[in-house]
Amino acid sequence: MRRQWRPRTVLGCMSGTSCDGVDVVAVSWGGDGRPQLLAHAAYDWGDLADRVRAYADGAALSAGASRHLQRDLAQAHIEAIARLPAELQMQAELVAVHGQTVYHAPPLSWQMIDAAWIAARLSRPVVTDFRSADLAAGGQGAPITPLADQELFPGKGCRAVVNLGGFINITLLDNERVCSGRDLCLANQLLDRAARTWLQQPFDMDGACASTGQPQAQATAQLAQELMSQNQGRSLGTADQVTPWIQRWQPHLSAADALASICQAIATCLHDQLQHDRPHTVWLAGGGVANAALLQAIARTCTGMRVVSSDAAGVPPLQREAAAMAILARRLAMRQAITIPAVTGCTAPAPLGATWIYP
């Protein structure tokens, strides 16, 4: 049986469903037991992003091409870690690697990576495959960040941590307790697909185009209804797309109005979910925080709540998920569960599962 220990410094790696790169965060724990985010590095995938996205969208690959893609993903993680200060690379005792989600339809999910390359190159143990044990125990395998959010966002009263990633997921905290966690709807995946369709660009930089548009009422209402239908008490994955909406409205909307309509529909869906719990503070994290049009739509829609960037809690938006992976890896090292039965639906007690690779 693997020994139990309390690593002091862990590197957390996360590549999200937007399939555009990997973030790595060095996290350390001091005497107060609170995680401290020490440094962040990122690596943009370039052409690798197109290969990963195509595979996640269902493109056929030979066995050899699939293995090459796994190895190339590992190399991208190694490149990202190499951008951290050398002293933190030496200080780290453990590396947490989420892997790239290329398929998620519970009870099956695949976070693609060849983590053995990372362990061999860094001469550090690597923990990966965070979701499979929960799935095998009857859970959705998601969301897996609530216990990490509990450590990253301490406070009083009801708060919400909202990740504006490829999908939106929400953690609700009440004092030091996790109340709930759930996936909500598409976010950046939809916005990026729309940017590729209308702008022939991989994404709408900072929401610049969307900021010049106006939401079209009928298109927004239809999309909001479709997005809300995704929230069925389950985790969202590769099958949850709304490309028919794009196909229907492409001939009728300008790029600016289409992107503005999407931002408003996402904000409407988020408000619909939050108004029941009425958190006093909504922490926004994830790549979507860079989209000014999306943030403006959320702020004007989610009235009566303090809507702020996670930066205000000392957690830079682009670092939250990678930091969460580091926290979950440390919990596993301490032989603590990383999922919550009431959140994922797994049988209690939650399993202590993951894949460990040693150099």
- pLDDT (tens digit, 0 to 9) for every residue of the chain, 359 residues total? 467 889 999 999 999 877 789 999 999 998 888 999 999 999 999 899 999 989 988 899 999 999 999 999 999 999 999 999 999 999 999 999 999 999 988 999 999 999 999 999 999 999 999 999 999 999 999 899 999 999 999 999 999 999 999 889 999 999 989 999 988 888 998 999 999 999 999 899 999 999 999 999 999 999 999 888 877 666 666 555 667 899 999 999 999 999 999 999 999 999 999 988 889 999 999 999 999 999 999 999 999 899 999 999 999 999 999 999 999 999 999 999 999 999 999 999 999 989 999 99
Asked whether residue 168 falls in the same domain as residue 239, the answer is yes
The pair of structure tokens assigned to 160 is 């919400």
- What strands lie across the sheet with 306-309, from one edge to the other? 177-186, 167-174, 158-164, 281-285, 306-309
CA distance 56 to 110: 10
* Residues 135, 146: Cα–Cα separation, whole Å: 17
The residue range of the domain holding 306 is 154-313
- The answer to whether residue 77 is domain-embedded is yes
H-state helical runs in the chain:
47-56, 63-82, 86-91, 115-122, 132-136, 146-152, 188-198, 217-229, 243-249, 255-274, 292-301, 320-333, 341-344
User: Do residue 177 and residue 296 come from a single domain?
Assistant: yes
Domain count, the chain: 2
Asked if 80 and 115 sit in the same domain, the reply is yes
Is 149 among the domain residues? no
- Let me know if residue 39 belongs to a domain: yes
Is the omega angle on the peptide bond into residue 143 within 30 degrees of 0, that is, cis? yes
Task: Give the DSSP letter string of 107-151.
Answer: TEEEEE--HHHHHHHHTS-EEE--SHHHHHTTS------HHHHHH
* pLDDT value, residue 86: 95
292 with 323, same domain: the answer is: no
On whether the CB atoms of residues 211 and 292 are closer than 8 A, the answer is yes
Same domain, 194 and 298: yes
Half-sphere exposure of 75 (CA within 13 A, CB side): 8
The per-residue b/e assignment along 29-42, b for 16 or more CB within 10 angstroms, e otherwise, is: beeeeebebbbbbe
**End-to-end C-alpha distance for the chain, whole angstroms:** 17
Co-location of 163 and 288 in the same domain: yes
3-state secondary structure of 37: strand
pLDDT score for 261: 98
CA angle 106, 112, 117 (to 5 degrees): 150
Count other Cβ atoms within 10 Å, centred on residue 212: 14
- Residue 332 is predicted with a pLDDT of 96
Q: How far apart are CA 91 and CA 38, in angstroms?
A: 11
Q: What is the pLDDT of residue 239?
A: 54
Same domain for 334 and 295 = no
Q: What amino acid is encoded at 165 in this protein?
A: G
44: its two tokens: 């943009």
In a domain, 2, yes or no: no
Q: In CATH, what number is assigned to the domain containing residue 112?
A: 3.30.420.40
Query: Would 118 be classed as within a structural domain?
Result: yes
Q: Looking at the structure, do residues 139 and 42 belong to the same domain, yes or no?
A: yes
Cβ(102)–Cβ(52) below 8 Å: yes
For residue 103, is it within any domain? yes
